[in-house]
Amino acid sequence: MKNGLKRLRMEAGFSLIKEDPASGARRGRLKTLHGTIETPIFMPVGTQGTVKGLLPDQLKSLKAQIILGNTYHLNLRPTSELIESMGGLHRFMRWDGPILTDSGGFQVFSLSKIRKIREDGIYFQSHLDGREVILTPERVLDIQAKLGSDIAMVLDECPSAESSRQECEDAVSRTLKWARQARDYVEKTGFLAKGHHVFGIVQGSRHKDLRQSCAQELVEMDFPGYAIGGVSVGEPEEEMIPQVQMCTEVLPREKPRYVMGVGTPVQLLKMIASGADMFDCVMPTREARHGIAFTDNGKINMKNNRFREDNNPLMERFSDIETGRFSRAYIRHLIVSGEILGSVLLTMHNVRFYLDLMAQARQHIEDGTFRDWSNQWIDRYNG
């Protein structure tokens, strides 16, 4: 942090440090029970209580500030009761930084074949053993309380991009009903008073009026932060950023805004310019396991024969971390040979790439140079 930056406002643990004059980009800071995170921020995904292939110390060395866990998955296995009895998710996985947990609402979309939506909640047939699992607005908060989540999500209904207008209206209606139940429940249980955050989730698909009325109603419920869900669920790419923009127009300036499950490096920069603060995505970790590395000049497939004799590191400016010491030729050899270490090294690299991009964005917002830098960055990446 540079000196002289003015804290504009603080509410419910979030302080807005600077706003970019040329875009909607914001530089903020969110306090949680396990430390403060600097926004804009990318959150590596640890669905099952582990960011795939990485040790907590490695995440720290990559400068991860906060990671994700998933209510649906952890509740099934090893169960929230077990994790609670082990001292909570932080202690279970030996990660002492902040953790945000998704509510299971996204699995309405991703596991659409094994779930039914009813007015009281979502009925899943477990993808592990077929037994029925019911997620209600109260139950997902109980689970997240047992996990010890720093930032919990309310239960929402995430429709796919193919849903009809009527289906989207129904989804928003249920999402709002469940959000109200959730808001009442955390008040009653004292979860918020203990310092945990609970974010409401805006749905509404591509429909501006639905998104904005959903956002407005959530704002009236006064959540500590707001998430934008249902983005990148099958719609054309050009519709994604406008959907974020529709929401941020309505969401309060002084609360953090989290776009769920998105996206590419370029999409992240565009969402930042649209006023979003927090992001998560499996892309950097999943692509790593498929042999793909992110670089300043775009993605590269490490299986490609052109890296066979390439003695350069993946990216010169990352030579301070473990992955930076290895040549592209060696990483290609590992990937081609199906060696675990290839996935691990690329996962470290890609997570670092995403986190570093956010660090650059933060600096440029502070310096008032975000828009120009961001445009240049995107041109180079795409070019």
**Catalytic positions, written as ranges:** 102, 280
Span 122-161, contacts to a second copy by CB under 8 A: none
Comparing CB distances to a second copy, the nearer of 93 and 133 is 93
Q: Which of 17, 62, 66, 93 binds a second copy (CB under 8 A)?
A: 93
Q: How far is CA 314 from the centre of its chain?
A: 25
Comparing CB distances to a second copy, the nearer of 85 and 375 is 85
For 360, the 3-state DSSP assignment is helix
Distance CA 357, CA 112 (A): 33
Comparing CB distances to a second copy, the nearer of 164 and 319 is 319
Distance CA 104, CA 91 (A): 22
Q: Is 353 in the site for a second copy (CB under 8 A)?
A: no
The token pair that represents 75 in the structure block: 């509740």
- Minimum Å distance from CB 345 to a second copy? 8
- Minimum Å distance from CB 232 to a second copy? 25
The letter for the amino acid at 249 is E
Q: Which of 308, 312, 375, 380 binds a second copy (CB under 8 A)?
A: 308
| Residues 13/262, Cβ–Cβ less than 8 Å | no
Q: Which H or E run includes 87?
A: none
Detail the DSSP E strand segments found in 8-78: 9-11, 14-19, 26-32, 35-39, 41-43, 67-70
Span 42-81, contacts to a second copy by CB under 8 A: 48-50, 52-55, 57, 77-78
Q: Is 7 in the site for a second copy (CB under 8 A)?
A: no
Comparing CB distances to a second copy, the nearer of 31 and 333 is 333
Q: Is 261 in the site for a second copy (CB under 8 A)?
A: no
Phi and psi based region of residue 105 (left: phi greater than 0; alpha: psi -120 to 50; beta: remaining) = alpha
Phi and psi based region of residue 114 (left: phi greater than 0; alpha: psi -120 to 50; beta: remaining) = alpha
Count interface residues toward a second copy (CB under 8 A). Answer: 37
The sign of the CA dihedral 28, 270, 19, 375 is positive
Q: Which of 72, 92, 199, 354 binds a second copy (CB under 8 A)?
A: 92
Distance CA 152, CA 141 (A): 7
Comparing CB distances to a second copy, the nearer of 77 and 165 is 77
- Minimum Å distance from CB 59 to a second copy? 11
Q: Is 304 in the site for a second copy (CB under 8 A)?
A: no
For 206, the 3-state DSSP assignment is coil
Q: Whose CA is closest to 249, among 297, 283, 302, 211?
A: 211
- Minimum Å distance from CB 69 to a second copy? 12
Span 106-125, contacts to a second copy by CB under 8 A: none
Q: Which of 309, 320, 367, 372 binds a second copy (CB under 8 A)?
A: 309
Distance CA 284, CA 264 (A): 9
Comparing CB distances to a second copy, the nearer of 346 and 358 is 346
- Minimum Å distance from CB 52 to a second copy? 6
x/- string (CB under 8 A) for a second copy, residues 317-346?
-----x--xxx-xx-xxx-xx-xxx-xxx-
Q: How far is CA 8 from the centre of its chain?
A: 25
- Minimum Å distance from CB 55 to a second copy? 6
Comparing CB distances to a second copy, the nearer of 10 and 336 is 336
Q: Is 377 in the site for a second copy (CB under 8 A)?
A: no
Non-local (6+) Cβ contacts of 49 within 8 A are 69, 74, 78, 83, 89, 92, 93
Distance CA 87, CA 272 (A): 35
| Residues 172/214, Cβ–Cβ less than 8 Å | yes
- Minimum Å distance from CB 339 to a second copy? 5
The letter for the amino acid at 174 is R
Interaction site with a second copy (CB under 8 A): 48-50, 52-55, 57, 77-78, 82, 85-87, 92-94, 308-309, 311, 322, 325-327, 329-330, 332-334, 336-337, 339-341, 343-345
